[in-house]
Homo-oligomer: A and B are copies of this chain.
C-alpha cells in the first residue's frame, strides 16, 4: 500500500523528474540512480532539505510525526515522505546520508541536521551550508547572508524566481497531492545542487583580487 508518483517539473526549459514516494523499493532504486560519478574527480554534490510538519504541542514538547526528505543530484529529485507508523528511516536513505564520498548542501542545513539526529538517529558525514561556503570560496562576504535566489544568480547565473510559490498556506505533512508544493521542493533542492556543484568543482572559483596600496615615504602620525 505504498505510494509512488513521478512528476515532471519544467525549470527554464529543462525538465526535472521528481519522484515522490514512501516505498522502500522506490527509494532504493532512486538512490542508486544518484551514483553516476562526475567526469572530473569532483565531489558529487546532493542538494538536500527536510521539512517536518508540526502537528500539535502536548504538555512537554512538540510532536513531529513525519519528515519530508528532499534530495537532488541535478538530473532528478527524490522526495521521501516518511509514513506515520515509522520512526526509523529507510536503510538506503540512512546509509546514503552517511556515504563519505558525497557532500550534502543546503540553506539552514545545520538546524536540519540537529533535528534529524534527535528525531531519527541520523548523523551526516559531510554537510555544508551554502551561504558561508559561497562567501568563503568566492571571497564575497555579503553572500554569507543572502537567500538562495541571489546565491543561484551570483554563483551560476541561474534564475528560478518565477517558479516560487505564490501562497504559503500549505502543510508539508500532506504535500504529496499538491503539484505546487512538489515544484517548490524541486526548485529548492535543484538550486542547492547547482550552487554547491559550482562552488565545489575542482577548477578554482574566480575570486575578487586583493590590492594593497603601498605609499612610499615617512609615516605621519
Q: Taking the complex as formed, is A218 at the interface, i.e. its CB lies under 8 A from any CB of chain B?
A: yes
**For the complex, is A62 an interface residue (Cβ under 8 Å from B)?**
yes
- The answer on a CB contact under 8 Å between B101 and A126 is no
Q: How far is the CA of A91 from the CA of B121 in the complex (A)?
A: 27
Q: Let me know if A41 and B212 touch, CB within 8 A.
A: no
Residues in B neighbouring A210, C-beta threshold 8 A: 212
Report the copy number of this chain in the oligomer. 6
CB atoms of B219 and A166 under 8 A apart = no
Residue A216 at the B interface, CB < 8 A?
Answer: yes
- Beta-carbon contact of B200 and A145 below 8 Å: yes
Contact with B along A80-114 (1 / 0, CB 8 A): 00000001101110111011111100111001000
Q: A160-203: contact bitstring with B at CB < 8 Å (1 yes, 0 no)?
A: 01001011111100000000000000001000000000011010
* Segment of A2-10, A14-22, A71-79, A128-136 in the binding face: A128-136
- Is A69's beta carbon under 8 Å from chain B? no
* Cα A213 to Cα B95 with chains together (Å): 48
Give Cα A37–Cα B167 distance, bound, in whole angstroms.
14
Chain A: residues with Cβ within 8 Å of the partner, total of: 82
User: Which are the 10 A-B pairs with shortest beta-carbon distances?
Assistant: A108-B125, A100-B107, A101-B147, A213-B219, A95-B168, A92-B168, A43-B147, A41-B153, A100-B148, A101-B149
Interface residues of A (CB under 8 A from B): 24, 28, 31-32, 35, 37, 41-44, 49, 51, 54, 56-57, 62, 87-88, 90-92, 94-96, 98-103, 106-108, 111, 115, 121, 123-126, 128, 131, 133, 136-137, 141-142, 145-150, 153-154, 159, 161, 164, 166-171, 188, 199-200, 202, 205, 209-221
